[in-house]
Structure 1
Amino acid sequence: MGTVLVGIALALLSSVAYAAAAVLQERLATLPVRRLAGNLHWWLATALNGVAAVLHLAALRAGPLSLIQALGILTLPMAVPLAAMTARRRVSGSEWNGMAFTLAGLLGLVFLIGSAGNDAALTLTQLITVLVTAAAALVALEGISRILRGSVLWTAAAAGIAFGISSAVSQTITVRLADDGVSAVFTPLVLIAGLGVAVLTVLGLLLTQHSYRNGLGAPLAVSTIANPVAAAVIGIVLLGDRVTGGYPGSALALACAVGAAIGVTMLANASRGGRTRPPVADDSLATAPAEA
């Protein structure tokens, strides 16, 4: 029981770190990518994301996967009020309702498909297929986002998919290291997987940054949904995982996805309601042109 409590505490700290990072990234969302490298707040947000990821991995080692994954979705109800507080405004009723629907749907999805990962590893062929497919999907989603100007939810979906696939690929690295020891580091499978995780993580950070340019709530909700779904798809298609409950469980998962989609819609509508964006964190870059 004590170990489980440690896992819960670590998961909560991870959600706090992710939420703080998201708020910082939103404050810099109008800056072009080329200016981020010189912004200390961007590096702070990146460090917070890294700390959150480490805490999440530690929590998974201390507590059951279903519980830790469920606690991970608390990032959304932490980040939205925190963003509102930094902007010196109240969280609207639409935002509260949107978060409620999104969290209810996410909670169901986490318990039904969040168990992806049965200590199986991708083969080299499967890994390359996953990375190529991921690249094509990210390019397509970002292309749709650019065609539908002002629609950042496609970019948010791409960010969530990048992080989700990165998590799934990370599992292959950990399984190979556990089975073969340090010698596994120099195998083509682990080298390619490590490179893939690094690239996907950087892309996820940049896509997330770009998705916050019109507000935090809806993009964060979309990326939070896309992350476990992308990882679960890999688990189900390639690693032999199954949705809990068979066909009834699949139907319930679909209902949860619909509920989460309703919540995202509410959050998106709330974002269009004339919210005032907080000032750019670095005044020296406040006059930088907004990224198209």
Structure 2
Amino acid sequence: MSSLVVAVPFGVASAIVYGTSIVVQHRTAQKHSEGEGQANAAGLWRLARSPVWWLAIAGDIVGFVLQIIALSAGPVVFIQPLVVLMLPVSLGVSFLMGGHRPRLGDYLGVLGVLGGLGVFLTLVGQPGNGHVPHSRKVAMAVLIVLLVGLVLALLVTGRNRLIRGSMYGLVAGSYFGTLAVMVDAASDRASRAGIHGLLATPRGLVPLLGIVVLGLGATVLTQMSFQVGALGATLPANLATDPLMAVLLGVVLLRERIPLGAGHCCAYIVCLAAVVSGAIRLANPQDVPAPAC
């Protein structure tokens, strides 16, 4: 049975940890990149030898554990959108680490993210409990998301930073959103059938395998996007696709209920636009007017 009283605090805590970790990862990736916006195995290997990078990855693990607790207690269509809170958090963490002082545009970006998220969660209300789908449906969903994402990532090889950053972020976000659905399905299976039902049956093992594969793919793509350096393209694409994919699969695959009338759907689009606009502003702190002479 879902409990938003438990799920929401853990979801917010997860976003705070992720927001802190993403700042450290991006700075470390930029420090160890070749300076030409190239994402390659050599750059990933240099990252893997950085203790600071591993510290940030440890932060991701902590954030993931908090996310598991949140998704175990609440519906994915309500909890996963909380991930966008990492943007305001990353703004504050970046400033504390010596980044630029937040300006009016940054605060407006925060307002867009928080406003879009708040209205969306209000519209969703109480989605209720979903169900664990058949393992074949889960496997098919994971396979389709993985293959489509791989094809899209390969299609932008050799393109400019903006295009590659946007596509890597989009694919990584779709992987993270699908991963959240797998966590929800696995936790629901464990609560209904125990550890044996999770580890010894296809309905438990398939979501677990999906978590591993999607997690690895999303992590690699995220680090590649950080090497490219186009954070203003990567983060908005990532944080728009992540909750969008989670909500879509939460409704279709897990059968969690949200209002789907024409008015609600239009309002969802407005909320998404507000979050994306805020994300673009927060991910482009350098886009500030030069001081007057």
Give me the TM-score of the superposition, normalised by structure 2. Answer: 0.78
113 and 139 in structure 1: CA distance in 2 versus 1, 3 angstrom threshold: farther
Cα contact 1:98–1:264 (8 A) shared by 2:
yes
User: In terms of mean alpha carbon deviation, does 136-145 or 213-222 score higher?
Assistant: 213-222
2:190 equivalent in structure 1: 177
Indicate which of 182, 186, 196 corresponds to 2:200: 186
- Give the deviation of 1:164 after TM superposition: 0.8
Q: CA–CA distance in 2 between the matches of 1:180 and 1:273?
A: 55
Unpaired runs of 5+ residues, structure 1, are 275-292
123 and 63 in structure 1: CA distance in 2 versus 1, 3 angstrom threshold: closer
User: In terms of mean alpha carbon deviation, does 6-15 or 40-49 score higher?
Assistant: 6-15
2:176 equivalent in structure 1: 163
Q: CA–CA distance in 1 between the matches of 2:53 and 2:202?
A: 33
Indicate which of 127, 130, 135 corresponds to 2:138: 127
- Give the deviation of 1:168 after TM superposition: 0.6
Cα contact 1:108–1:256 (8 A) shared by 2:
yes
1:28 equivalent in structure 2: 28
Indicate which of 203, 210, 224 corresponds to 1:210: 224
1:278 equivalent in structure 2: none
Q: CA–CA distance in 2 between the matches of 1:203 and 1:117?
A: 30
Q: CA–CA distance in 2 between the matches of 1:42 and 1:169?
A: 26
User: In terms of mean alpha carbon deviation, does 39-48 or 12-21 score higher?
Assistant: 12-21
103 and 156 in structure 1: CA distance in 2 versus 1, 3 angstrom threshold: farther
2:115 equivalent in structure 1: 104
- Give the deviation of 1:9 after TM superposition: 4.8
16 and 33 in structure 1: CA distance in 2 versus 1, 3 angstrom threshold: same
1:67-106 alignment, distance < 5 Å: 72-106=83-117
- Give the deviation of 1:166 after TM superposition: 0.7
Cα contact 2:124–2:258 (8 A) shared by 1:
yes
- Give the deviation of 1:146 after TM superposition: 3.3
The one-letter amino acid paired with 1:253 is Y
CA RMSD of aligned residues (A): 3.1
Q: CA–CA distance in 2 between the matches of 1:124 and 1:59?
A: 23
Cα contact 2:95–2:101 (8 A) shared by 1:
yes
Q: CA–CA distance in 2 between the matches of 1:95 and 1:26?
A: 19
After superposition, give the CA deviation of every residue in 1:85-116 in whole Å (9 maximum; x if it has no partner).
Answer: 32442234333333322332233344445966
Indicate which of 200, 205, 210 corresponds to 1:196: 210
Q: CA–CA distance in 1 between the matches of 2:78 and 2:145?
A: 28
SS at match of 2:24: helix
After superposition, give the CA deviation of every residue in 1:122-175 in whole Å (9 maximum; x if it has no partner).
Answer: 212211211111112311332354354112122112111111101111222222
Cα contact 1:114–1:228 (8 A) shared by 2:
no
1:285 equivalent in structure 2: none
Unpaired runs of 5+ residues, structure 2, are 33-42
- Give the deviation of 1:18 after TM superposition: 1.1
Cα contact 1:215–1:271 (8 A) shared by 2:
no
Indicate which of 243, 258, 276 corresponds to 1:243: 258
1:7-86 alignment, distance < 5 Å: 9-30=9-30, 31=32, 32-59=43-70, 72-86=83-97
Q: CA–CA distance in 2 between the matches of 1:113 and 1:218?
A: 28
**Share of identical aligned residues, percent?**
27
Give me the TM-score of the superposition, normalised by structure 1. Answer: 0.78
Q: CA–CA distance in 1 between the matches of 2:155 and 2:103?
A: 29
Indicate which of 189, 211, 228 corresponds to 2:243: 228
SS at match of 2:61: helix
Structure 1 segments, 4+ long, off by >6 Å, are: 3-6, 62-67, 114-117
The one-letter amino acid paired with 2:87 is L
The one-letter amino acid paired with 1:192 is V
Aligned length: 272
- Give the deviation of 1:216 after TM superposition: 4.5
User: In terms of mean alpha carbon deviation, does 261-270 or 97-106 score higher?
Assistant: 261-270
